Amino acid sequence: MSSGKDGIMDNPNLSKKNIVKQQTTDKAEIAQFSEHSEKWWDPEGPLKPLHHMNPTRIKIIANNLADHFSRDLVQTQPFKGLSLCDIGCGGGLATEPFARLGFNVTGIDPVNSSINVAKQHAKNQHLQINYKLGAPEDAGIFSQRYDAVLALEVIEHVTNIPSFIQSLAKATAPGGLVIISTINRTSKSMLFGKIMAEYVLNWVPKGTHSWAKFVKPSELAKQMRQNNLIIHNLKGIEYNLSTSAWTESNDVSINYIIFAAPQ
């Protein structure tokens, strides 16, 4: 593993040798998520931090989508007539809110048990969501190109970032938007996103994340540009320990969301 210009280790999954399209899923990661798949909708379970962050995350994304597509969020279903693909959808925590906002939604995930949970929960909520088992690089996984393509808290778990970004770009319709939320690779994210979250506060199971696989915004931006995606916005999501609240922020040193559109 080489050292970057800022003295912090490079992410090995960004190597130029990985540009050739290949599998992006990691068997160990799939096994780990399979263990917790039945707890996707338990707000006090192993995915509790994601439940707490999700409303703020959805709000930031919805606001940017509304600006991009000139939609009014006051409307009941402001995104009616538009399509969205949630890649690495898990049990549907983000998929369902966007279906409620009017998107024609597809959710894709490589974990069979998570897809089953997502399907059952959507059925219970009377939501029509097209869930598919697979990864974005799988042949035939996309039946169309989508107005919005999401990968939320996913890219830090994939094995081949160039291939993953390439798949996202190909799945995005002209005039659409690619949205990725993830964790920056900084000393601050090592302390709070890894050590505090997993070993002190016990927010997530130990070993959930590998700090070396966290991705800097500059690295994502470079991969996006190589796939003819232009960065439109970059926002941070910040957690306040004293108030236990997540808020939108300009601080991208830990959690951030990047928005890009095809040229």
How far, in Å, CA of 2 to CA of 23, rounded?
Answer: 23
SS3 6: coil
Give the residue-averaged pLDDT of 13-27: 54
Task: Check if the beta carbon of residue 85 is closer than 8 Å to that of residue 173.
Answer: no
- pLDDT per position as a tens digit, 163-200: 999 999 999 999 999 999 999 999 998 888 778 777 77
Please determine, for residue 62, whether its predicted confidence score (pLDDT) is greater than 80: yes
Q: What is the reported pTM?
A: 0.85
Please determine, for residue 145, whether its predicted confidence score (pLDDT) is greater than 90: yes
- pLDDT per position as a tens digit, 22-55: 566 666 656 665 666 788 999 998 888 899 999 9
Q: List the structure tokens of 200.
A: 């002190």
CA distances from residue 205 to 6, 48, 71, 110 in whole angstroms, order as listed: 30, 11, 39, 20
Percent of the chain with pLDDT over 90: 67
SS3 199: helix
Burial zone of 129 (CB within 10 Å; 0-12 exposed, 13-18 middle, 19+ buried): buried
Q: Which fold does the domain 12-262 belong to in CATH?
A: Rossmann fold (3.40.50)
- Residue identified by tokens 């969205």 is 84
What are the domain boundaries of the chain?
12-262
Burial 130-147 (b: 16+ CB within 10 A, else e): bbbebbbbbeebbeeebb
